[in-house]
């Protein structure tokens, strides 16, 4: 009966909404958004940068990760088999390992939406069957608890049951939207109903449990998929519970930091500062944005606006990375791990910047883009995707960084004491949350490339692709985008099919793209073109129309706010959306990263090298190499420093550490030529 209810609700939603019923966010009937998701599979990368990245995801990232997680290295599938009675053994892996497996299934579905590989679907459906057999009769499923005789359900939040729940619900919704099948969704419905029965209560015993809150996003997607409002109500309850209870250690919280670490000291609607574990915080904010898009609550949106501004303008690195420190304290002096500390405290060498946190930053901005329809949010999505997101995975797609510092210097740290911080990418991380997170993001990137406005389409991300989708009035539009972005700034979008009535084509003008021009059929159009905003062209489009956007791709030097003490008198190099770095393979013999001084004001040359690091644009830059710098003494006197002049190439930050173990820096001390 329940299965019929789910299918009936899904069918009803499909009838009501002619578009977005299969979006990465299921926004067919979402009332309070300016921009909505396109359907999964409507946009496909065709060539160039993102097509290459998707091909690696399809042929290397997803298959290799599947081998890891379904074998004896990653343990995840084994845990489900043991819980299902199909195998003997004990739980292995972190408490959140179920969620890692769900994220990998989600990534597989994004690939399947593009290539329709039946073998991949059959493989995934086999794993879903095992998950269903592992699920308890009442809907509970958490292998890290089920396989421990001395642990009760929801006994202690350190077991991350909510995190696993959220990824189960989201993955099941994506599987359903891509395949039309209900086998995974049935499991999710059963579990979500159990969650509602358990947590729809004012009992303080459960009130503080909702930390690491992926379940909020998952519940909203379940509401969007099935129409069951219980799920939306429960998602809102989880938000309302934060900051509601006295912050104290209880049996349910022992063994994990409390207070700001898990965003429970201040109610969200009163918050104006991003605090605590960066992943926990940004999943929470993204989920709250999903709830706000359904309820339209102004207080919630206002709080999210303040938090987004705080993250972006006071606690985010030039690469779009977030989570400044491995260990630290909040402004309320609560213990913090892997998260936000005070504003403008932005270390380079000890920057933590967990890959998951960076990905979550883009997820939060994607939802804010939908809420407000402002291009500044897509700027952050793009910044993360090209820099602090991609840096988390190797070019061949099989090795991973957990943390993403802005400077790496040999001998500066004992990495044997840090199980998540390493000088090189690793083929397997015991804490495996980041690898499937970046892989699912790369696999779904084409679904972020466009959004639907009330009467048109917004171009969020640039890259050669083909879009065939329906506008919100049900009419079909087909666009073909051709560009060598991000290495070149010219984008051509050809209209292959359009309705007869006028509609909008909204072009994101990145905040760095000063002096951009827009033409249609090689003629200037009367459109406001301002960096940091959408340029909206409204006209009657016809087959063969070509929109041309030209964005200047000048090399820019970037300096931090003067309050960022660790970047004072230093610069980073950026061209378009790409942040660059210096890496030791490109330095003169025997030179070290800490010897490098940037020669400010000198001419910079851009070169494209198709044979380097998968094909990248490099920047040729004059530098000075310090010859007499003390290497051993803590402090030493100095006379006039001695420098050798040299010229090196800078490479994109995301490519570093793909030529062997190396030192690297994004920010460099600068000596200006004109001084």
Query: Could you give the dihedral angle defined by the CA atoms of residues 538, 513, 564 and 328, in that order, rounded to the nearest 10 degrees?
Result: 60
Greatest alpha-carbon span in the chain: 83
Strand 476-483 to 407-408 pairing: unpaired
Residue with tokens 């003490």: 565
Gap between the terminal Cα atoms of the chain: 78
- The tens digit of pLDDT for each residue in 629-657 reads 877 788 989 889 999 999 999 999 999 99
Residue 92 DSSP label: -
Mean pLDDT score, 410-414: 81
The H-assigned helical ranges of 405-455 are 434-443
Mean pLDDT over 620-626 rounds to 96
The answer, yes or no, to whether residue 280 has pLDDT greater than 80, is yes
| C-alpha Rg value of the chain to the nearest Å | 25
pLDDT value for 4: 41
- pLDDT greater than 90 at residue 1: no
Structure tokens at 9: 């609700």
Q: Return all residues near 180 (Cβ < 8 A) that are at least 6 apart.
A: none
* pLDDT (0 to 100) of residue 499: 97
180: left (phi over 0), alpha (psi -120 to 50) or beta: left
CA–CA distance, 25 with 17 (Å, rounded to integer): 13
| Beta strand pairing call for 643-652 and 546-550 | unpaired
Strand runs labelled E in 330-475: 335-340, 407-408, 450-453, 456-459, 465-470
Query: Which percentage of the chain shows pLDDT scores above 70?
Result: 97
220-229, 498-507, 624-633, range with the lowest pLDDT: 624-633
pTM greater than 0.85 (yes/no): yes
Number of Cβ within a 10 Å radius of residue 432: 27
Of residues 13, 43, 32, 163, the one with CA closest to residue 102: 163
Average pLDDT, the chain: 95
- Is 16 a residue whose pLDDT tops 90? no
> What domains can you pick out in the chain, each with its CATH number?
257-402 (no CATH), 450-550 (2.60.40), 555-672 (no CATH)
In contact, 280 and 211? CB cutoff 8 Å:
yes
Q: DSSP secondary structure string, 213-232?
A: -HHHHHHHHHHHHH--HHHH
- 496 three-state secondary structure: strand
CA distance 175 to 183: 9
pLDDT band at 674 (very low <50, low <70, confident <90, very high): low
Q: Rounded mean pLDDT of 203-232?
A: 95
362, two tokens: 């883009």
Percent of the chain beyond pLDDT 90? Answer: 91
Backbone angles phi, psi at 644, to 5 degrees: -110, 140
What per-residue confidence (pLDDT) applies to 632? 79
Residue 417 has pLDDT above 90, yes or no: no
Q: What is the mean pLDDT of residues 303-307?
A: 98
DSSP code, position 59: I
Determine the Cα–Cα distance for residues 274 and 379; give it in Å rounded to an integer. Answer: 20
Q: Pick from 388, 401, 450, 395: which is nearest to 427 by CA?
A: 401
3-state secondary structure of 322: strand
pLDDT beyond 50 at 289: yes
Reported confidence tier of residue 3, pLDDT bands at 50, 70, 90: very low
pLDDT, tens digit, for every residue of 246-258?
Answer: 999 999 999 999 9
Determine how β-strand 578-583 pairs with β-strand 643-652. antiparallel
Three-class SS state of 637 = coil
pLDDT confidence tier of residue 458, bands split at 50, 70 and 90 = very high
**What does DSSP say about strands 465-470 and 503-509: parallel, antiparallel, or unpaired?**
unpaired
Helix, strand counts (H, E) of the chain = 17, 25
> For 259, which DSSP code?
G
Quote the pLDDT of residue 14.
38
* Per-residue pLDDT, 675: 55
Question: What distance in Å separates the CA atoms of residue 494 and residue 86, rounded to the nearest whole number?
Answer: 54
Q: What is the pLDDT of residues 340-371, one digit of tens each?
A: 999 999 999 999 999 999 999 999 999 999 99
Q: What is the mean pLDDT of residues 514-541?
A: 98
Residue 628: per-residue pLDDT: 85
So what's the pLDDT on residue 231? 98
**Residue 440 · residue 103 · CB < 8 Å:** yes
- CB within 8 A of 66, min separation 6: which ones? 104, 108, 123
pLDDT of residue 7: 43
d(CA 125, CA 89): 23
Residues with Cβ within 8 Å of residue 475, at least 6 apart in sequence: 498, 499, 501, 503
At 367 the pLDDT is 98
CA–CA separation, 36 vs 26, rounded Å? Answer: 9
Residue 19: what pLDDT? Answer: 53
Answer whether residue 473 shows pLDDT above 80: yes
pLDDT computed for residue 413 by the predictor: 79
Average pLDDT over residues 585-590: 95
Mean pLDDT of 450-479: 97
Quick one: pLDDT band at residue 9, thresholds 50, 70, 90? very low
Give the lowest-confidence range in 26-40, 95-109, 299-313, 635-649.
635-649
- For residue range 326-339, what is the model confidence (pLDDT) as tens digits? 999 998 999 999 99
At residue 621, the 3 state secondary structure works out as strand
DSSP secondary structure code for residue 58 in this structure:
I
pLDDT in tens, 169-216: 999 999 999 999 999 999 999 999 999 999 999 998 899 998 899 999
């Amino acid at each position: 009966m329940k299965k019929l209810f789910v299918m009936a609700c899904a069918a009803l939603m499909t009838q009501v909404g002619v578009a977005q019923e299969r979006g990465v966010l299921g926004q067919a009937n979402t009332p309070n958004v300016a921009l909505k998701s396109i359907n999964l599979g409507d946009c496909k990368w065709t060539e160039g940068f993102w097509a290459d990245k998707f091909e690696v995801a399809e042929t290397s990232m997803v298959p290799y990760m599947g081998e890891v997680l379904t074998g004896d290295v990653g343990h995840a599938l084994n845990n489900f088999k043991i819980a299902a009675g199909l195998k003997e053994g004990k739980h292995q892996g972190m408490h959140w390992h179920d969620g890692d497996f769900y994220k990998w299934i989600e990534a597989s579905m994004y690939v399947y939406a593009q290539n329709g590989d039946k073998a991949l679907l059959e493989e995934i459906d086999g794993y879903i069957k095992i998950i269903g057999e592992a699920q308890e009769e009442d809907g509970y499923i958490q292998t890290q608890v089920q396989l421990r005789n001395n642990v009760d359900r929801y006994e202690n939040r350190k077991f991350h049951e909510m995190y696993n729940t959220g990824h189960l619900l989201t993955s099941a919704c994506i599987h359903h939207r891509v395949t039309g099948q209900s086998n995974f969704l049935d499991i999710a419905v059963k579990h979500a109903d159990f969650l509602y029965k358990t947590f729809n209560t004012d009992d303080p015993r459960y009130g503080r449990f909702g930390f690491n809150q992926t379940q909020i996003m998952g519940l909203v997607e379940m509401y969007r998929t099935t129409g069951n409002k219980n799920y939306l109500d429960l998602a809102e309850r989880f938000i309302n519970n934060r900051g509601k209870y006295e912050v104290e250690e209880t049996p349910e919280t022992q063994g994990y930091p409390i207070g700001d670490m898990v965003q429970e000291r201040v109610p969200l609607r009163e918050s104006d500062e991003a605090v605590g574990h960066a992943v926990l915080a940004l999943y929470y904010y993204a989920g709250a944005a999903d709830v706000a898009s359904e309820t339209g609550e102004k207080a919630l949106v206002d709080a999210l606006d303040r938090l987004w501004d705080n993250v972006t303008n006071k606690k985010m690195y030039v690469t779009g990375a977030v989570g400044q420190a491995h260990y630290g304290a909040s402004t309320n002096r609560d213990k913090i791990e892997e998260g936000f500390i005070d504003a403008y405290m932005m270390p380079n060498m000890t920057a933590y910047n967990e890959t998951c946190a960076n990905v979550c930053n883009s997820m939060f901005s994607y939802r804010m883009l939908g809420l407000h329809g402002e291009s500044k949010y897509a700027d952050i999505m793009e910044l993360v995707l090209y820099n602090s997101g991609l840096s988390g995975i190797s070019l061949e797609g099989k090795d991973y960084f957990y943390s993403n510092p802005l400077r790496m210097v040999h001998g500066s740290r004992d990495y044997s004491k840090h199980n998540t911080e390493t000088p090189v990418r690793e083929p397997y991380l015991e804490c495996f949350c980041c690898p499937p997170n970046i892989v699912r993001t790369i696999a779904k990137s084409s679904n972020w490339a466009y959004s639907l406005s009330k009467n048109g389409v917004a171009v969020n991300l640039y890259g050669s692709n083909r879009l065939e989708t329906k506008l919100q009035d049900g009419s079909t539009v087909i666009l073909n985008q051709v560009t060598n972005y991000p290495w070149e700034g010219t984008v051509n979008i050809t209209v292959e099919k359009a309705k007869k009535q006028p509609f909008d084509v909204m072009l994101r003008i990145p905040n760095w793209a000063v002096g951009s021009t827009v033409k249609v059929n090689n003629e200037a159009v009367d459109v406001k073109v301002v960096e940091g905003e959408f340029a909206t062209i409204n006209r009657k489009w016809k087959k063969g129309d070509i929109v041309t956007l030209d964005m200047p791709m000048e090399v820019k030097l970037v300096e931090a706010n003067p309050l960022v003490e660790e970047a004072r008198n230093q610069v980073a190099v950026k061209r378009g959306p790409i942040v660059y770095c210096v890496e030791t393979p490109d330095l003169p013999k025997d030179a070290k990263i800490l010897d490098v001084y940037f020669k400010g004001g000198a001419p910079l040359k851009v070169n494209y090298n198709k044979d380097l690091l998968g094909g990248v644009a490099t920047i040729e830059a004059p530098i000075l190499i310090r010859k007499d710098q003390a290497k051993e003494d803590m402090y030493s006197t100095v006379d006039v420093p001695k420098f050798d002049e040299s010229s090196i190439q800078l490479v994109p930050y995301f490519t570093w550490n793909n030529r062997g173990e190396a030192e690297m820096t994004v920010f460099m001390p600068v000596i200006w030529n004109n001084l």
